[in-house]
Amino acid sequence: MLRGSKLQSTQCIRTWIAIRQQSQLASRSSTEVPGRLRPSLLPRESVVKASAEVKEFALLEQGIRKTDQALSEYANYRYKFKRLPANYGSNQLLKIGREIDAELRGIMGHFQAPVRYAFGYGSGVFEQAGAHKSDGRPQMDLILGVTHPEHFHSLNMRQNAHHYSTMRYFGSDAISKLQAVGAGVYFNPFVDINGHQVKYGVVSMENLLKDLATWDTFYLAGRLQKPVKVLKNDLRVQFWNQLNLKSAATLAKHMLLAKSPGKIDEFEFYKQVTALSYIGDVRYKLGGENPSKVTNIVEKNYENFQRYYEPIYRDVIINDHGYLPRGFTVDNAVKLLEDRISWNSTVQTVKGVVTAGVAKSVKYAWAKKLKAIRSK
């Protein structure tokens, strides 16, 4: 039964890739028809050909809808892609300033342990409104996706033992087991790399892909719904994050239309997308986050949001396509996310005291609290 399900999942993904490629070809060929001329001025053969291509394109769009839905039901997030349709997910590969890009590349080059996927995020990578110069330069936040967490931590502790709290005395096996608790991320905050203050989280590729595909914890799926700088890419993440973005857009659209039927403002749309990852977050409940954080994130990164969501916005908002992970509907999604985010943010907060150590945890919490106070 499992083997049949896996084969069905693999076939579903291959069908999806084929349909996407055909759709792109049909889209390109349809734009090559001299549509600026009135049909009456075109040769009859051209009109017939254009009509056939439009019909074919419509059928392909129907196929995309069906295969997207099938993916949510059957897809295997462990499937290893050798390629993706041309430009699929290229919107995720944002460009940033050369200086900050070089600094991030330098930080990545510091790690000797193998990393499969990595991205930078937060105010240290993307500027946020409301930042105070007196705060100094923000900490750079990174997430490192690794295949074998225990192996990564073993090698990394040999190179960077000072990055770890007293947990290092328990060995890489204990650290990897603690990492697996909650959202599955192990953070080392306030470490110095190449003269930069860095916080990096380590996650297994298994947990990262599962969260993107199923919204299992929504911890990293929510993080990746906001603009990030991909530092090392993986086709599996690129594929599933594209559907993650589409899911976020689908839910955000529904929530906005529930507030203002028939009207969607693009800025408010990105605010709603950003707000999804904070539904039920314990840090908000305890006043540990800037209450204006959502607005600040979107305000300074509006163009990045537009680039990040460019094909998604067109697909979901303009063409009215929708997608949600299996088990989620527009009616139950908010409640499901609230429960998952509340639990996992609580566990990660408690876990952070152990992984970072008491001193660093207090320092991190106080820095967050100061930001919240200054924003008022």
Which has the closest alpha carbon to 317: 239, 265, 271, 243?
265
pLDDT of amino acid 135: 59
Q: Please name the residue ranges forming H helices in the chain.
A: 2-32, 44-74, 98-110, 149-159, 171-179, 205-214, 219-223, 235-259, 266-276, 282-285, 293-300, 302-308, 310-313, 333-356, 358-374
Which has the closest alpha carbon to 202: 67, 351, 68?
351
pLDDT of amino acid 21: 61
Amino acid (1-letter code) at residue 361:
S
Flag whether pLDDT at 36 surpasses 60: no
Task: Say how far residue 216 (Cα) sits from the centre of its chain.
Answer: 13
Domain locations in the chain as residue ranges: 96-374
Q: What span, in angstroms and rounded, lies between the C-alpha atoms of 200 and 144?
A: 7
Amino acid (1-letter code) at residue 255:
M
Which has the closest alpha carbon to 153: 138, 135, 165?
165
Query: What is the number of alpha carbons within 13 Å of residue 54 lying toward its C-beta?
Result: 8
Give the lowest-confidence range in 30-44, 235-249, 362-376. Answer: 30-44
| Span 205-259, pLDDT tens digits | 999 999 999 999 999 999 999 999 999 999 999 999 999 999 999 999 999 999 9
pLDDT of amino acid 356: 73
Q: What span, in angstroms and rounded, lies between the C-alpha atoms of 47 and 289?
A: 59
Residue 97, helix vs strand vs coil: coil
